Structure 1
């Protein structure tokens, strides 16, 4: 199930402690919402950089970070910060995230409009990919904030 929020802050949705965001696979979190993840979860960022450097995080992969109260899903949506996101990478990473969440009892995940800002994709196309993937996992509720406050 997907809940679209026209405006909001993914970190302040009542009852939601799990988050996802699209990221590059070059180890850079220097712009957009990625900066907030880097600042909020510095240990996650160190491990993310390591995984990118060793090739463990590639487009279509996920890196799941347990921060104690919940999880952060780092979705590999693009090769580097200089390249755009791709729909196949979003489709694979969203599918992996939903499968992981379903298998581990994670029922709510908040995320921004991945791939459509710095990733340079058309939001309607990304939305269609997410909606198709989410159909297979109706137990996992996605809270997508379409515009930050």
Structure 2
């Protein structure tokens, strides 16, 4: 699995600590994009319906135009971690990772405070002006098309 184009510009190497996949809650979620659904069904060898019922929470978000979009999030396991995180802190769907996970620990449309939640970023050489907002704009646009596939 290669890093996203935006992350390739940063001097950062994953330490495989698993912290970005742990302690998910309403403030720390993994959004799934339409392109993620077929990738995960393939990785897990399950139907779309099974994927949604076992691993996905649906939510409605209001757009700035006042419309609502149904969006999907990874449903945390009972321990609060990503259900695809293995005991060795590696990803169980590595070759089919969701788009947000590919960008982790930076996330989607990242341009936030450099004092991140994650220890692994404290030593990363991140340019002050760095942002993934423009790179990820196209990915966000896929939400308008929805999850039908």
Q: Decide: shared fold, TM above 0.5.
A: no
In terms of Rg, which structure is larger?
2
Q: Which protein has the bigger strand share?
A: 1
Give the structure-1-normalised TM-score: 0.28
